[in-house]
Amino acid sequence: MARYFIYLAFNGTDYCGWQIQPDAVSVQEKLEKALSLFLRQEIHVTGAGRTDAGVHARLMVAHFDIDEPQDCGWMKNKLNGILPQDISVYRIVPVRADAHARFDAVSRTYRYYLTLEKDPFYRDFAWRQINAPDFELMNKAARMLLETVDFTSFSKLHTDTKTNNCKVTVAHWDRLPDGRWAFTITADRFLRNMVRAVVGTLMQVGRGQLTLDQFRQIIDSKDRCAAGDSAPARGLFLEEIEYPEQLFQLN
């Protein structure tokens, strides 16, 4: 048995998210069907995490097992020839038999994109704001996330997670060369809907609807109902996932 990591990207506009759903089309479903077709055996993949409907990924990682080792370049080319245009495989690499795309990830990075201009090319990939929020104030609020352990206030309710604790190491807004703004957040793990809930609540700070003290109170309340509405899915991208080097040392 051989195990591989697949590094891929997808435009999530037309998908219910990463994870297979009974009555909707998912990225995982498309990937499993493509792998099973050309490898001529039933293949199941395990992703590094879930993404909501409409969320995009510049880099998602998944692992799968196959009976016999295969040429990675051949598999990549076959996959890209079968998958739809909105899913692309960057590379496939062999990993240790116990490597796990989800549990072995040491950090994940998301970016949320805002645009202040009407632009048809960003319509599905950024949240348009007619009036610019106060990004300096939002960055002051974002710094509080670095000191936060329990992110219950920004978690989807009634999930099956055992803990809502996360270690956020990066959280800030930056202006991009093309005029858009991006919120970058890196953590060891993320809760369901966490990034969109954080962005939606930070936007209330930037619009003057919440003070910094009130933002702190929302964090401390551990109450999702106290936080703001989730930002639209279209502006969110999974950007990076990091793994320990020993997963790729086969000997």
Catalytic residues: 52
CA distance 52 to 159: 14
Contact 182, 163 (CB under 8 A): no
Q: What are phi and psi of 160, to 5 degrees?
A: -100, 15
DSSP-assigned letters across all residues of the chain: -EEEEEEEEE-GGGSS-SS-BTTB--HHHHHHHHHHHHHTS----EESS---TT-EEEEEEEEEEESS---HHHHHHHHHHHS-TTEEEEEEEEE-TT--TTTT--EEEEEEEEESS--TTSTTTSEE-SS---HHHHHHHHHGGGG--B-GGGS-SS---S--B--EEEEEEEE-TTS-EEEEEEES---TTHHHHHHHHHHHHHTTSS-HHHHHHHHHHT-GGGSPPPPPGGGEEEEEEE--GGGG---
- Token pair of 177, please? 């060369």
